A = this chain, B = another copy of it.
Amino acid sequence: MNEWHHDHLERSRQRYTEELLQFLSIPSVSSLSEHAGDVRRAAHWVVERLGAAGIENAEILEPGGHPCVYGEWLGAGEGKPTVLIYGHFDTQPADPVELWSSPPFEPTIRDGRVYARGSSDNKGNMLVPILAIEALLASQGSLPVNLKLFFEGEEEIGSPFLSAFMEAHKERLACDLVISADGMQSREETPTLVVGWKGLCSMQIDVRGPGVDLHSGIYGGAVQNPIHALAEILSSMRSAEGTILVEGFFDQVAPLTAAERAQFAEFPYDEGEYKRAVRVEGALFGEPGYSTHERAWARPTLEVNGIWGGFQGEGVKTVIPSEAHCKITCRLVPDQDPQQILAVMKAHIEANTPPGVSGSVSLSPATASAYVMPIDHPGNRAAHAVMEEIYGHAPHYIRQGGTLPVCGLFRDLLGVYTVIFAFALEDENAHAPDEFFRLSSFERGQLAYCRILETLGESESL
């Protein structure tokens, strides 16, 4: 084991933190068109940072929507494996901004944590391997493996152009293993290796009633109320106990095996701690017959992400609104086909739209299938060894309810698996106000990335 990179990381600590703050100050929100220029600015920042680290051929590529960034270092030779590192530099929107303790794009350090939108998901995490590579190249002049880096700018909107782009650039992206810097650890001192992600599909429901907002006194009781109609559509999708009632929703679900459930149960679970993490004072809630981790990791879900219609201001406005709207995402598990879910959701909404209004469903083109990786894959074994070394004990194998669409794309288009090797933590308010990233994770990650590249360089086969 070579410790020179360790000295380099120590010496660079303050500069790396400053660079992280600089990167986070770019509001690269991919879902809002007014931030398209900022997403591009972040891409340029990454290209420059790759070049400074010693990565070759760093450049911006154009999948079609927001740009992505590619770079490589292929000097290890043919006897060494080729590893592709993945991450994304776009972020979720920051609203509701008023719930943030400090402005979301003015990164602020408090108690060893960097608060900013994108700090944990994924800019902080994706900067980590770049810094590790710089440390290895600076201290040793070479890398233990051939390396490709691929960072995208549309992960938070479901990577709509990525599939076609990867199809068109198979040669360039070809590798033996992907390591994803997008992902997270459950707890600070309990290492985990994520071996499964849920799939995703999303839609918006628009309910239209009267052609104009009506006085709810004069016309109340005479016409259907679009908000009440939408409430009934949503209510029809779930039993009171939390079981999804959409016909056909579970048709393609691979039942959890006894082995999977036993593996999930091995992961420490403290309900009080979980409730404190999500700040739920009452009971947790979800599909009967499954544990919290089973529901969150490996059962399909249907969540309403937003709803709006009619008067939302101060005081009273006695109106029957012309329209009501909501957004829904479903998270999918093996072997669900996102297109099949969109079809059954659409059919359910149409069949359950009350009389007197029309309901239409806009299906988002961005979908992803669920992804599961074999626990004993050589990539996981290398990650396992590094984690054991760094944390002092072996990692748990878990799944996550989030979606990393690239994992399925790498599997289907390049024929390779993706090791999730990331040091964000589950409590860091990803997608929520006051997102933060621990500087301790930032530093631990840099060391871990040096070590996993060295370990993979020593691997017999990948």
Contact = CB atoms under 8 A, between A and B. Distances in A.
Interface in A189-236: 198, 200, 202, 209-225, 227-228, 230-232, 234-236
A221 B307 contact: no
Contacts of A354: 240, 285
Contact of A220 (B303, B311, B326, B364): B303
A357 B282 contact: yes
Contacts of A318: 92, 200, 202, 303, 305, 329, 431
| Majority secondary structure, A binding face | loop
Nearest to A429: B212
Contacts of A1: none
A452 to B, nearest CB: 24
Interface of A: 31-33, 92-93, 95-96, 99, 156-158, 198, 200, 202, 209-225, 227-228, 230-232, 234-236, 238, 240, 242, 274, 278-287, 292, 295-296, 299, 301, 303-321, 324-327, 329, 331, 354-358, 364, 366, 400-403, 426, 429-434
A288 to B, nearest CB: 12
A431 B292 CA distance: 47
A401 B218 CA distance: 4
Given A220-B331, A231-B234, 17 more contacts: A31-B317, A96-B213, A202-B316, A210-B280, A212-B278, A212-B279, A216-B331, A217-B400, A217-B402, A221-B295, A223-B280, A231-B304, A232-B234, A281-B358, A282-B356, A305-B318, A307-B312
A401 B214 CA distance: 12
Given A299-B221, A429-B212, A433-B212, A312 B308 contact: yes
A402 B433 CA distance: 42
- How many of these chains are in the complex? 2
A157 B315 CA distance: 7
Nearest to A282: B356
Contacts of A211: 278-281
B240 A232 contact: yes
A83 B229 CA distance: 46
B285 A216 contact: no
A32 B212 contact: no
A305 B310 contact: yes
Nearest to A222: B296
A88 to B, nearest CB: 14
Contacts of A216: 301, 303, 305, 329, 331, 431
A221 B287 contact: yes
A251 to B, nearest CB: 18
A95 B223 CA distance: 21
Contact of A303 (B225, B295, B309, B400): B225
Given A220-B401, A304-B225, A306-B317, A210 B278 contact: yes
B214 A316 contact: no
Nearest to A354: B240
